[in-house]
Every structure is written in structure tokens, then in C-alpha cells.
Amino acid sequence: MHGKGRTAADESVQLLREVHERMQAYFSLRPGPLRGSEPLFATTACHDRGGNVVTPAGLPLSTRAIHRIITEGLLLAGVKKPGIVVHSLRHSTPTFALLNDANPTRVQKMMRHQHYATTEIYVEEVQKLLEGAEEAVTQI
């Protein structure tokens, strides 16, 4: 899938099979094929109480709207707590991948980290979680 990149809007992004399947299901609900200039996630028409169109259908969802939708999903899932924000999902991705024995170089590529040093921060945090050296001190 093409995704937004640092330098170009068409950098490849690898998706999980489940995500790809859900994206395909979403595309099947759209009226007609997705054209290059159309937004991937679009608004539906919003009307005021008098029936007047306030927001026409087909406009790109704003970053704020996407943020609100994800925050609502976190609340419904019961994981929205102080300090847990939408951007936390980006940080949890490499952490969970490394906790499940993913290759750090592949994690770097998945996260599109330009420098391995950025990925290494997650590697070190996961090692701390797994080794538990800090807790061993209290068992003297």
C-alpha cells in the first residue's frame, strides 16, 4: 500500500494481512473505484437541523477527525487512560513487534526509521522489560 512518507506521498507501507482485508472490505463499500485524487478516508455529508448541507460528502477527513475517531475507539476498547494518546499506538507497534521476537532491522524498516539508533531505543526498552534486572536488586 502506498503511504505518506517524509519526501514523497507514494512510499510503500507494508500492512498486516488482517488490515489489508479490512481495507479491501472498506473499498468495497465505497461507490465506484478509488481515483488517484480522491481521499482514502472521506467525510459523509453533514446536514444542519434545517436539512442544509454543512459539510459535503467526499472531502478528506481532517487529522482532527481521524484523531477523534481513534480516541473514541481507544475509549470503547477500555485502553484510553491518562497518558495514552493516539500517538501511543505508533510507539506500541515496535515494542510489541520486538517483544514477539521480530528482527530489529525489519522493525526499523516497518517503522520507516531513517536511523537504526531510533529503533535501538525500542530494542533497549524491550530488553529492560524482558530482563527485569532492576527488580532483581530488590530480591537480595
pLDDT in tens, 76-132: 988 888 888 888 888 889 999 999 999 999 999 888 898 999 999 999 999 988 887
Q: What is the pLDDT of residue 99?
A: 93
Q: What is the pLDDT of residue 5?
A: 55
Residue among 100, 99, 105 at smallest CA distance from 120: 105
pLDDT in tens, 56-66: 888 888 888 88
pLDDT at 49 over 80: yes
pLDDT at 23 over 60: yes
pLDDT-based confidence at 135, cuts 50/70/90?
A: low
Look at the block and give the residue holding cell 531513517. Answer: 114
Asked whether the beta carbons of 126 and 98 are under 8 A apart, the reply is yes
C-alpha cell at 51: 436539512
Neighbours of 9 (CB within 10 A): 8
β-sheet bridge partners, residue 11: 3
What does the radius of gyration of the chain's CA atoms come to, in whole angstroms? 20
Q: What is the pLDDT of residue 11?
A: 67
Percentage, residues of the chain above pLDDT 90:
24
Average pLDDT over residues 26-51: 81
Q: What is the pLDDT of residue 102?
A: 95
Average pLDDT over residues 41-53: 84
Alpha-carbon distance of 131 to 126, in angstroms, equals: 9
pTM of the predicted model as reported, rounded to 2 decimal places: 0.61
